Amino acid sequence: MKELSYSIQNISEIIGDQDLLRHPHQNIKNLLTDSRKITDASSSIFFTLEGKRDAHQFIDSLYKLGVKSFVITQKDFNTSNFPDANFIWVGNALKAMQKLAKAHRKHFDYPVIGITGSNGKTIVKEWLYQLMVNDQEIIRSPKSYNSQMGVSLSVWQMSNQYNLGIFEAGISTNNEMAVLEEIIQPTIGILTNIGDAHDEGFNSREEKINEKLKLFKNSQIVIINKKYIGESQDFKKNFTWSLTENADLQILDINKKENQTLIKGTCQEKEIEINIPFTSQSSIENAIICWATLLYLGYQQNIIENRMMNLLPVKMRLELKKGINQSDVIDDSYNSDFSSLDIALNFLNQQNQHPTKTLILSDIYQSGIAESELYKNVAHLIKNKGVDKFIGIGKELKKHQSFFKKDSLFFSDTEYFLKRFNWESIYNETILIKGARHFEFERISKKLSLKIHETVLEINLNAIVSNLNHYKGKLKKGVKLMAMVKAFAYGSGSEEIANLLQHNGVDYLSVAYADEGIELREAGITIPIMVLGPEVSSFEAIINYNLEPEIYSLRILKAFADLVSSKNLSKQAIHIKLDTGMHRLGFMEDEVDELLSFLKQNNNVKVKSMFSHLAGSESEKHHNYTQQQIDLFSKITSKFERELGYIFLKHISNTSAITKWPKAQFDMVRLGIGLYGIEGVIEEQHLLANVATLKTTISQIKHLKKGDTVGYGRSGVMLKDGKIATVKIGYADGFPRILGNGKGEMLINNQKVKTIGNICMDMTMLDVSDLEVNTGDDVIVFGEDLSVYDLAKNMETIPYEVITNISQRVKRIYYYE
């Protein structure tokens, strides 16, 4: 069958209310929703989706980069600036994209599996792929693209080269599923586990289940846990499984041992079993769902058994960590297909910390595309994403090396690469490692990454972006955002976080010391950076690195102005700090007249902003005091604006003021701790995403008798026979001594355990008497399920101190899901 292709004219016929097509025959392949993720400009069409910022503003830069086709909503958009572009007007860009995906889906009549549920969608999708890839040409959602937009982008990838589609659908509230159903049109439905996630979007659990089940309205079969079938549902047909009652696949026995689980069941009165290389509850449930699906599809039990035994873990995240020779490593050594390569390259492309971007790639397993076509596309993609150095590993890549840049290196397998590669040739690079599973790229990753002692702070970059957007959503139009990245970005790591924030369009950054600002400039940060409370000795560096000082006294203002004039510079940006009640740094009200007359006489400095800091914005108790601070701030800044004769930015709000004092946004806000998932206004806390997880591992387990003592000073005493676990974190890592002797807690296998004895410098002992634990098990010090708040409470301090006290020797690992 001939491959489907669309001209811009075809697309306008499907979605357009109106159009202006300068090149009606322009071929369209890619749907573009993020102006930073262009792959092939001329064949892309950009959708101006509604977001925090008006997407029409990106058209100019996209046009310059060669994008020629735009779906827009602004009726009076001025098209004359873009004489070579095609425009399609629609009422709503997301709906238009969905309509296009729907129309595209109608061209294919091969089976499509639709997966929904609260948990396990992505794992079930990936495992079904692993289980069937040997005998099917499968197109599936990349990563966990399951949103209203993600589903459209996924289905858009369907083509005649495939014979099976597997797509996941996620919803967070009522009435979202009907649209996804129309786009995916699943012929086979799978419902995974229904948990408590997103409960706030629904009135009841039943309502949530019913909404999800709408995905299967027209499916020929639904694979489902029998317990979710209520009276109200009426499917054409279903294939049930159950742990407790009679079902198409009834589970009789689950037997965990070491790293495996043996699952026995009956199907059509035959006893059958599978063995999976996992033991967690969720893995077992997901494997059963896959088992039921394969049985329904008619797979032979012996083939199922064999493939189940070889299931691989699904690691959907990209990790960014410190590497050898001043480099960073992005680890994506789990799978390798074209769309996940695209996603990983976008992440590589965002990194500015190092001058060189390097890709180490294995042969790609993408069903449905001829080899030479595939590698031509790969080479093209790599070129478009600004990769400076390319290393290909595998026979296929080697065979097609002529498509790649001349100085690229090729190795026939991983072994050969490890032996022959000149590791010294790596210096100051960001290296993306991306390989299909059996290439064992974890061996390469191990060689390139710095050794980490087993305590790590994991930073979820999606969560930071989501928190940033949460606060952006509260800002009035035109209000700017300064992100506070002082103190190593509240412990999270300055360069990586600053880079992420710059990429996501914050207007300003702020650091505590000039040194921190210099590091950011050297790591490729180009947006304005304010230095809080600098000393005179750092002014030279501030000027040289294009940083902007906070000026908090006449003494330092004079010193700065002197330096500026000695360098014959003019209009150097400064930020005036007013003390309206914090009583830390800044000009008091009775000092501002002198300040004003100095500023009037000295043109070599220019006030870029005036700001002040609130002493108790999070608390009701200080409501009146906060109001007074804001009033005084307004009064002084108005006077300065009148008298100086030019305008500057005014800002006073920190995180909790953004939440509680919308009237005090002025021209800019200074977002600090909220970015990192913590709020002073407790009621707001649950709306934020957890950013940091501090993790360690069990080094040893000891069985002790009643009366035995534990640790220095023998202050820990076993009250009965039991066992303790020693973990690799101590007060030198930021787990303070005050948490010893049962005051502190950690999580092992989701269960809370208490400390026993005194905390040591590098180690802590936990009482694990009542728990099934093993050496090497993960231990959570804080994270999603054990909050920094609880830890702070036990330490008699605030979360700010906990997170900024995590020692620098604890390695930070950044990840994207």
Ligand X SMILES: *Cc1c(COP(=O)(O)O)cnc(C)c1O
Give the footprint of ligand X on this chain (CB under 6 A).
Answer: 484, 532, 613, 654-655, 670-674
Nearer to ligand X, 224 or 671 (CB): 671
Tell me which residue of 432, 459, 426 sits closest to 349, measured CA to CA. 432
Residue whose structure tokens are 């006489």: 601
Helix (H, G, I), strand (E, B) or coil at 307: helix
Q: How far is the CB of 672 from ligand X (least distance, A)?
A: 2
DSSP 8-state assignment for residue 362: E
Whether 712 sits among the annotated catalytic residues: the reply is yes
**Biggest alpha carbon–alpha carbon distance for the chain:** 95
Residue of 571, 639, 712, 793 marked catalytic: 712
Q: Among 456, 449, 347, 454, which Cα is nearest to 692's?
A: 456
CB 563, min distance to ligand X, A = 23
Which of 43/629 has CB closer to ligand X? 629
Q: Is residue 48 within 8 Å of 71, Cβ to Cβ?
A: yes
Bridge partner list, 45: 31, 69
Nearer to ligand X, 484 or 518 (CB): 484
In the bound complex, what is the minimum distance in angstroms from residue 104's beta carbon to ligand X? Answer: 45
Q: How far is CA 474 from the centre of its chain?
A: 21
CA gap 362, 364 in Å, rounded: 6
User: By beta-carbon distance, which residue lies closest to ligand X?
Assistant: 672
CB 552 to ligand X: min, Å: 10
| Distance between CA atoms of residues 640 and 646, nearest Å | 9
Which is closer to ligand X, CB of 493 or CB of 740?
A: 493
- Residue number, 348 or 484, with CB nearest to ligand X: 484
Contact 318, 344 (CB under 8 A): yes
Contacts of residue 618, defined as CB under 8 A and 6 or more positions apart, other chains included, come to: 656, 660, 679, 680, 681
**Residue among 5, 217, 222 at smallest CA distance from 107:** 5
**What does the alpha-carbon distance between residue 599 and residue 155 come to, in Å, rounded to a whole number?**
60
On whether 482 is known to bind a ligand per the annotation, the reply is no
Sheet containing strand 138-140, edge to edge, reads 138-140, 164-168, 112-116, 188-191, 221-225, 238-242, 249-257, 260-267, 270-276
Q: Which of 68, 486, 577, 660 is catalytic?
A: 486
Least distance (Å) between residue 629 CB and ligand X: 13
- CA 338, 342, 343, 349: dihedral to nearest 10 degrees? 150
Angle formed at CA 428 by CA 423 and CA 429, multiple of 5 degrees: 80
Q: Which is nearer to ligand X, 211 or 579 (CB)?
A: 579
Min dist CB 24 to ligand X, Å, is: 52
DSSP 638-686: HHHHHHHSS--EEEEE-HHHHHH-GGG-TTEEEE-GGGGT--SSGGGGG
CA 203 to CA 186: how far, in whole Å? 26
| Amino acid in position 125 | K
What minimum distance in Å lies between the beta carbon of 535 and ligand X? 16
- Residue 655 falls in which region: left (phi positive, over 0), alpha (psi -120 to 50) or beta: alpha
Crossing angle, helix 371-384 and helix 338-350, to 10 degrees? 10
* CB closer to ligand X, 88 vs 484: 484
Instruction: Give the chain's length.
Output: 817
Question: What distances in angstroms separate CA 787 from CA 347, 379, 437, one per listed residue?
Answer: 29, 45, 35
Q: Give the nearest distance from C-beta 520 to ligand X in angstroms.
A: 16
Least CB distance from residue 69 to ligand X, whole Å? 42
Question: What dihedral do alpha carbons 19, 21, 26, 28 form, nearest 10°?
Answer: -20
Q: Identify which of residues 183 and 483 has a Cβ nearer to ligand X in the complex.
A: 483
Measured from the CB atom, the residue of 490 and 816 that comes closer to ligand X is: 490
| Residue 547, CB-side half-sphere exposure with 13 Å CA sphere | 30
668 known ligand binder: no
Is the CB of 677 or the CB of 736 nearer to ligand X? 677
CB within 8 Å of 427: residues ≥ 6 apart: 325, 326, 327, 356
Q: How far is the CB of 386 from ligand X (least distance, A)?
A: 34
Nearer to ligand X, 62 or 530 (CB): 530
What is residue 164's three-state secondary structure?
strand
Which residue in this structure is represented by tokens 């896959």? 290
Closest approach of ligand X to the CB of residue 806, in Å: 16
Alpha carbon 164 to chain centroid distance?
Answer: 29
Q: What does the DSSP assignment read for 378-416? A: HHHHHHHTT--EEEEESHHHHHTGGGS-TT-EEESSHHH
Radius of gyration of the chain (CA): 29
**Residue spans of beta strands (DSSP E) within 417-462:** 429-434, 456-460
Q: How far is the CB of 792 from ligand X (least distance, A)?
A: 14
Q: What CA–CA distances, in Å, run from 259 to 45, 695, 775?
A: 48, 21, 14
Q: 104 vs 660, which CB is nearer to ligand X?
A: 660
Q: Would you name the residues annotated as active-site residues?
A: 486, 712
Binding residues: 584, 761
Annotated binding site for substrate: 584, 761
